[in-house]
A and B are shown apart, each in its own frame.
Chain A
């Protein structure tokens, strides 16, 4: 069970990360706010509760690994890492600026705490498999968490990796799919159907958990369940809302790759503030 106190802290972190995502993408004038907002609660749960890691020692040998496969959610990862203390929060305003460590998509060579570069879709699950098997070979206790987009699951390599993970019984791996249902060109089911999604993973030999991915205790519970599963990998299909937290951004595919104007940013931040004050009250 997660304490009420801890849940309050997590809600505050999620709120702060959402604010960062909006501010930094608007300042940058480009980026992917929609798919960054959708996975804020998942990334918050991982970095501030589920994963074993140490911001003061990013190369801690037994740290849990987080693989952001949907690299366009970089703003959320950067904001979470900054909130953890991997680098100063002030750096966030330099997102996508020339010379910044915060490249448009994550660059392992530049950002403390980023485990792998990404941005090219479909690769994270295979990378996570390699990391997880390395832990098994070396008898290390760490787990690997991979966050995938749902549109990304149209890539063939995702299913090559899904087959591989089940074949090699990689049970120290938890994949989480951001099932927000929208990709750049529209709803996934109109662009290229991924349904029946959970059945696909089951038929590939995975333990499947479906949750409301904005429910932080539910995400944490699913991650705990995954730790108990032996002999096969687990996928958490996190049902999420693109643009979550800002009424006029939710469910809008257009905000996949479009940022807010300064004026809309003010409205959006006011909404977030009101939501957070409501929680705190």
Chain B
């Protein structure tokens, strides 16, 4: 892992410019194009960019209309607004009719820190995970974000891609190959497996370093495709290490940890600890301050690892 930092939304803007020659693609935004970086596409391709204004149901329903007519429609806004308000349009049209609508959001989790609770998104993974036909991807860094967006555009059907406002450590080099539906072991280990998604992946790697110094050998797995989840990598981790910690920038209820626990409960029950926001709303603050307050840190992953190990041994 290098010390370079880059936000996944910046990667998104660059990727859209690279994809702009593809005539299938239309991009829609709900008055957030400067913040989400879709303005890069708008400048390049004004004829295939549509600002719907402050109207997120219209954002998704219009995107659905484009997709019914054969377009690949990318609908973008802040995570909370692009999923919460038009949830029913996503369910009844985008997902039900398996439309080529890619809902690519920014400002997910706590990364829109200073805007406060109304602008945070700690429920979106849970809210979309229960909808049939949805593919959900939470990239761990800028490189993975770019590759995930390209994969989503080529993948037929609805996709949700969850990006961040805040800068995060660069994890992957250009030689990395993202594969939809596949997790990646970033660090091998035998005592327990830390399975993380999104911005928590870098923190999981940090936690593994700390644990190594304490003589604990942790496997670190990045799962960016939360749905459909890579069952094999999760079950192998449980079988081979016997204990699992999940880490996500989301409510610990119903999100990524829930998805991992469903796989484990049915296939390979082992002790699991969940690092995530403990069923609370956010508040104003810098993202790093909020990560501290809400327990989304390498230290909390270390603590959870110790807890899960004591249960494993107990």
By a beta-carbon cutoff of 8 Å, the part of chain A in contact with chain B is: 65, 107-109, 115-117, 119-120, 123, 126-135, 137, 156-157, 160-161, 163-164, 168
CB–CB A157/B61 < 8 A: yes
> By the criterion CB–CB under 8 Å, are B92 and A131 in contact?
no
Given contacts A157-B58, A160-B55, A117 and B96 within 8 Å (CB-CB): yes
Q: Given A116-B93, A116-B97, A137-B48, answer yes or no on A127-B55 (Cβ-Cβ < 8 Å).
A: no
Q: Is B281 an interface residue (CB 8 A)?
A: no
Chain B interface, >50% SS class: helix
B156 at the interface (CB under 8 A from A): no
Name the residue on B nearest A105 (C-beta): B92
The answer to whether B57 and A130 touch across the interface, beta carbons within 8 angstroms, is: no
Q: Would you call B68 and A131 a contact (CB within 8 A)?
A: yes
Q: Name the CB-closest residue of B to A161.
A: B58
Q: Which residues of chain B have a CB within 8 Å of any CB of chain A?
A: 26, 47-48, 50, 52-53, 55, 57-58, 61-71, 73, 88-89, 92-93, 96-98
Cβ-defined partner of A157 (8 Å) among B48, B57, B69, B70: B57
* Distance in angstroms between the alpha carbons of A244 and B66 in the assembled complex: 35
Q: Are B26 and A137 in contact (CB under 8 A)?
A: yes
Instruction: Please indicate the chain B residues that have their CB under 8 angstroms from the CB of A132 in the complex.
Output: 65
Question: Shortest distance in angstroms between B56's beta carbon and chain A's nearest beta carbon?
Answer: 9
In the assembled complex, how far is the CB of residue B50 from the closest CB belonging to chain A, in whole angstroms?
7
B149 CB, min distance to chain A CBs, angstroms:
21
| Minimum CB–CB distance for B131 against chain A, Å | 14
* Given A117-B93, A134-B69; A127-B53 close (CB under 8 Å): no
Are A126 and B68 closer than 8 Å at their CB atoms? no
How many Å lie between the Cα of A109 and that of B66 in the bound state? Answer: 17
Q: Are B88 and A120 in contact (CB under 8 A)?
A: yes
- A161, B61: Cβ atoms closer than 8 Å: yes
Q: How far is the CB of B71 from chain A (nearest CB, A)?
A: 5
Chain B residues with Cβ below 8 Å from A126 are 57-58, 61-62, 64-65
| Bound-state Cα–Cα, A120 to B70, Å | 22
> In the complex the two chains form, is A130's CB within 8 Å of B93's CB?
no
CB <8 Å contact, A128 and B57? no
Kindly list chain B residues whose C-beta atoms are within 8 Å of the C-beta of A123.
61, 64, 89, 92-93
- Assuming the contacts A128-B65, A157-B58, A161-B58, asked whether A134 and B71 have C-beta atoms less than 8 A apart, the reply is yes
Alpha-carbon gap, A89 to B67, bound state (A): 30
| Residues in chain A near residue B52, CB distance under 8 A | 160, 164
Of residues A117, A132, A135, which shows the largest number of chain B Cβ atoms within 10 Å of its Cβ?
A117
Q: How far is the CB of A262 from chain B (nearest CB, A)?
A: 33
- Nearest-CB residue, chain B, relative to A108: B97
> Bound complex: CA of A132 vs CA of B73, how far in Å?
14
Contacts A119-B92, A137-B47, A164-B52; is A129 near B65 (CB within 8 Å)?
yes
Q: Are the CB atoms of A164 and B71 closer together than 8 Å?
A: no
Is B92 touching A120 in the complex (CB atoms < 8 A)?
yes
| Cβ–Cβ < 8 Å partners of A137 in chain B | 26, 47-48, 71
A156 and B85 alpha carbons, distance in the complex (Å): 12
Contact A127 B61 (CB under 8 A): yes
Which residues of the partner chain A approach B50 to less than 8 Å between Cβ atoms? 133, 168
Give chain A nearest CB distance to B128 CB in angstroms.
Answer: 17
21 A-B residue pairings within 8 Å (CB atoms): A109-B96, A117-B96, A117-B97, A120-B92, A123-B89, A123-B92, A126-B61, A126-B64, A130-B62, A130-B71, A131-B65, A131-B68, A131-B69, A132-B65, A157-B57, A161-B61, A161-B62, A163-B53, A163-B55, A164-B53, A164-B62
CA gap between A119 and B97 in the complex, in Å: 13
In whole angstroms, how far apart are the Cα atoms of A168 and B48 in the complex?
12
Instruction: Give the CA-CA distance A211 to B73 in the complex, in Å.
Output: 36
CB distance from B88 to the nearest CB of A (A): 6
Is there an interface contact between A135 and B65, defined as CB atoms closer than 8 Å? no
- Kindly provide the distance from the CB of B82 to the nearest chain A CB, expressed in whole angstroms: 14
Nearest 9 A/B pairs, CB to CB: A130-B65, A126-B61, A134-B69, A160-B58, A127-B65, A130-B66, A160-B55, A130-B62, A131-B69
Nearest B residue (CB) for A59: B70
